[in-house]
Chain A
Amino acid sequence: MSNLISRSPVPAAAPPATTPPPSPPSWVLKVVMAVTGVMLVGFLLFHLAGNLKVFLGAEEFNHYAEWLRHLFNPLMPGESFLWVFRVVMLTAFVAHIYSATSLHLRARRARGPHRRRAMPAKRWSVRSMLMTGAIILCFVIFHLLDLTIGRSAAATSEFTAGDAYGNLVASFQRPAVALFYALTMLLIAVHLSHGVWSVVNDFGATGNRTRQVGLVLAGIIAIVIAVGNMLIPIAVQAGWVA
């Protein structure tokens, strides 16, 4: 006869953890994602407005670029505002990437070895966030080398510091580069269409109206930024801007 009798105490339900939760907590990382995401979106909208001046001609565009460099003069002398701005944006960018990767790792761990399968196709924008983000990162590096720093390979041989308009036109006259820019803008749209919707949730918007507005806004922002920016390489290629 099998004996199943045990003398050990009856196990009790495991108590909640007594150790602190992961640090920094995921909800903080999510808030960081959302705040930096909004900052980056803000930059993109601002940048888009500037970029579209390219249609007003070289004069206007370069003037605008110059004005940017000296924003808040004389309160903030020389290019100091620009540098403050760059540091802030860079920090946000790094924080965004840091949070994204650590959240991603936590998510993988929490899910365990059996990945979610059979997700509907419409989820590909969420699933590809890390990938679209990584491509954006590559794009930004290329873009800075191309139009801000002027290092060759990325930049054209005609790069002239100060002639933003000329650099841009020269760069976009290379079909491959124009195509790369245009495609990246599509991926940015994908990243943002989901990203802005995430922001709505991360800021804790529970009102139905707010959520609906947020969802629509996510689409609009994504389309505006992508279409607006894409117009430029297209225009250069088409010869509308030269």
Chain B
Amino acid sequence: MTDTTVTPTSARTAPDTAGAPDLDALRTIGTPLDGNVPEAPPAQAWADRRLHYNLVNPNNRRKFTVIVVGTGLAGSGAAAALGELGFNVECFTYHDAPRRAHSVAAQGGINSARARKVDNDSVDRFVKDTVKGGDFRGREADAYRLGEESVRVIDHMNAIGAPFAREYGGQLATRSFGGVQVSRTYYTRGQTGQQLQVAGANALLRQVARGTVNLHTRQEMLDLIVADGRAQGIVVRDLVTGEIRAVTAHAVVLATGGYGNIYHKSTLAKNSNATAAWRAHRRGALYANLCFIQFHPTALPLSSEWQSKTILMSESLRNDGRIWVPKQAGDDRRPADIPEDERDYYLERRYPAFGNLTPRDVASRAARERIDAGFGVGPLRNSVYLDFSDAIARLGRETVYTRYSNLFHMYQQATGDDPFQTPMRIAPGAHFAMGGLWSDYDMMTSVPGLFVGGEVGWGYHGANRLGANSLLSACVDGWFTLPYAVPNYLAGLLGSPVLDPEHEAVTQALQDVNGRIDRLLSTNGTQGPDRFHKRLGELLYTYAGVTRTPEGLARGIAEIRALREEFWADVRVMGTGDQLNQELERAGRIADYLEMAELLCLDGLDRDESCGAHFRADHQTPDGEAMRDDEDWCFVSAWESPTTPGGTFVRHDEPLRFEAVPLQTRNYK
């Protein structure tokens, strides 16, 4: 079978492509995309762009209504900042309170290129690390903006109440985090996300009190309203009463978080979902790089059938913990009984420069490799050790305790083991979605008027996100990018009213949502939605996990289609639509995941290279390192889904250019 669209330049270690699927039957290549990146050199791009943005006069601001969906770091920041500027904001969340957004769960920290220490950090180095870390699949200019605004993010979050960790002299404390050799990660114990999220949510509530933001809790966005080619509203379902309503506005900001939960067992919250983004996609917003999913190397391993998720243990643990497996496969001794020279500290062995701090994808893959080779530990042999005994000996119990108390506590809660006594057990788990709704440099998607912020977008992180960069990107988007970019868009709409709620696009969207809910409720099958989700997750871990093969991905697509069919024939949604109905909520989200999963696999199948978190077994060096293909794949894949049944997906490419950080292979040896 020939592959006409791509010419692989890398040597395939698995030359047998007999089982390789026919890509052309699945997708076509569409017109290329323009990321609308300023012409200026990447380091000046943001200043240049801001200078050219249109402004809205303070008196005119309250004439504009902006919808912000999500109250995570990105959503609360955008809503609060737009409210502070005087725009009229309608903010939505399916949670009962803004503070519950999943940003709250981030543990490790937030990066900032404040570069106060003499460890030779700088904005340029930050950009270099981010771009290289992302394996050259993100925009350089975006990374510059991220680095530049990172300084203000720390100042602002501190000012609105986040109690960052301090040194004894009173200055902000930093630590180094997976993948970088400088100390630029700001933190508050192991609760950085919580403290930032609470501060952001409180700032949002301040605007609610001032009357600039209307907050709507327990309202789930189920569709986007696109009229006259612009995003002009959303459809929400009242999760308490079941009522479906339309809300119209001048612009819509989606800050609805990532889709990692598609793997069912992930480090995300149980309710995290991609419905808002997927529905926007189905209304025309392109979805970029879906297959770029980060598997976190330090998640808790699965140990029982009803385990509902894989809890993340912060990567900061790798600062002081050493990762190892027994040298002998199937070694059943207690970890303490295995002598030093019979332990394989495989990260230190394979990557002496970075050791236990190699980037996440490398660490995950290395762990997976050891586990698959039979060296895994624990009852199901599905994990590796993360050992603190050296750190305890070196730093003392006290210091280790201050650094990791709540992480150790959490681990003990979950497993019943005390990390002071016996090494932790960890395994890679689905964690972060680098892919997301495609947006241009101004955070606007391919649907005019629809903006994204935070993990729902695709920006900054390329094919692999550096630890502690995503809290940052959510904050930068929310507080320091969207408040510039959205008004620029609104300025052109001065004088135009919000969309008439009687407009046919509104009616249509309402009907569509109503119809979808009806279909879910009336299928009357035999299996609850969660069972499908579980199966989908297992399927994705198998075919689109840490290591992928074209055959596997193709099989994945076929099995997902079958599962989707089974879902629509056999799903059982108990209860009715006019009440609080969690089964219905779940069913809708899983229905969307079942569509999305296919595109995820297709994206992975299509991207015929290994890059970042996307590791294709057919693109690796003899010693198992990823082989990127810059000649053919140095672009973003932004996808369009078929609008008619049986249609094909369309891939639009946004070429990437690198000026400040020249293309080079990642090397963490």
Contact = CB atoms under 8 A, between A and B. Distances in A.
Asked if A and B touch directly (CB within 8 angstroms), the answer is yes
Interface of A: 1-13, 15-16
B236 A10 contact: yes
B82 to A, nearest CB: 17
A13 B216 contact: yes
B214 A4 contact: no
B245 interface: yes
Interface string B88-118: 0010100000000000000000000000000
Contacts of B600: none
Contact of B215 (A2, A6, A13): A13
B245 A6 contact: yes
Contact of B209 (A1, A12, A16): A16
A4 B243 contact: yes
B578 A2 contact: yes
Interface stretch (B449-457, B513-521, B535-543): B513-521
A10 to B, nearest CB: 5
Interface residues of B, number: 28
Contacts of A6: 238, 243-245
Contact of B577 (A2, A11, A12, A16): A2
Contacts of A12: 214-216
Interface string B484-517: 0000000000000000010000000011001101
B54 interface: no
Given A1-B514, A5-B244, A10 B577 contact: no
B216 A1 contact: no
B247 interface: yes
Main secondary structure of the interface of A (DSSP, over half): loop
Given A10-B247, A11-B238, A16-B209, A4 B219 contact: no
Contacts of A9: 245
Contact of B217 (A3, A8, A13, A16): A13
A170 to B, nearest CB: 64
B208 interface: yes
B335 interface: no
Nearest to A13: B215
Contacts of B419: none
A149 to B, nearest CB: 58
Given A1-B518, A4-B578, A5-B245, A13 B510 contact: no
A10 B217 contact: no
Contact of A10 (B209, B238, B515, B578): B238
B242 interface: yes
Nearest to B92: A10
Nearest to B90: A10
B508 to A, nearest CB: 12
A10 B235 CA distance: 10
Contacts of B245: 5-10
Contacts of B237: 4
10 contacts: A1-B514, A2-B577, A4-B242, A4-B244, A5-B511, A6-B243, A7-B245, A9-B245, A10-B236, A11-B238
